[in-house]
Chain A
Amino acid sequence: DTEVTQTPKHLVMGMTNKKSLKCEQHMGHRAMYWYKQKAKKPPELMFVYSYEKLSINESVPSRFSPECPNSSLLNLHLHALQPEDSALYLCASSQQQALNQPQHFGDGTRLSIL
């Protein structure tokens, strides 16, 4: 079990669906991250939130829309995804973005686009 909780664990959706991935942490961390990981590849950074503000957007397509409602929650809204978006989506948090603190990862949401 990790201290970063992601739901759902698995998600299958069609290309016209709208769904959301959720991430929650109660460690008081002020930096939260979304990563995309394809099989046998490293995690690729998508977004970073620092103190609930979007700090980094790695040129992610607009069909992925992040949201940070409060310091404990991070969402990723999905709309009109493509089959190549099928991947493991990992959420992580760290005490702050600027400090050399390790990131704590959730178990991820395995997303399949039909």
Chain B
Amino acid sequence: GQNIDQPTEMTATEGAIVQINCTYQTSGFNGLFWYQQHAGEAPTFLSYNVLDGLEEKGRFSSFLSRSKGYSYLLLKELQMKDSASYLCAVRDVGGRDDKIIFGKGTRLHILP
């Protein structure tokens, strides 16, 4: 089966660092995406990992451990505009179809 878990909500302070974790179980893992979605807006692509390790892109970094079925998104120097939902999405090629499966998302609240 397929299962993607991430915390429902997190709160952090402006200027701080926050780590959003995602664990997954799929029959045929082939890549993990992180998306940001502001309320009422479209999801926007943040990062992609398929090999173990850390991918850094400005204030955002994403880490993957395939053996542990685990990823995290690290946000540094938090800004108020980072208040949004962060969606972990896994590419599953193990079943009948090759498709992206989204986790339930983590709503991040940034406090001044």
Contacts and interface: CB of A to CB of B under 8 A. Distances in A.
Tell whether A pairs with B: yes
A4 to B, nearest CB: 8
Interface of B: 30-31, 33, 41-45, 48, 50, 87, 91, 97-105, 107
10 contacts: A42-B105, A44-B102, A45-B101, A55-B97, A56-B99, A90-B42, A100-B48, A103-B33, A104-B45, A106-B42
Nearest to A43: B102
A42 B98 contact: no
A42 to B, nearest CB: 4
Nearest to B42: A105
Nearest to B45: A102
A71 interface: no
A21 interface: no
Contacts of A90: 42-43
A86 interface: no
A48 B97 CA distance: 10
Nearest to A56: B97
Contacts of A106: 42
Contacts of A55: 97
Contacts of B44: 105
Interface in A59-114: 90, 97-98, 100, 102-108
Contact of B104 (A42, A98, A104): A42
Interface string A33-66: 0000000111111001000000110000000000
A40 B102 CA distance: 13
- Closest A-B pairs by Cβ, 10 of them: A102-B45, A42-B102, A105-B42, A100-B31, A107-B42, A56-B97, A105-B43, A42-B104, A42-B105, A43-B102
Given A42-B103, A104-B45, A105-B42, A98 B87 contact: no
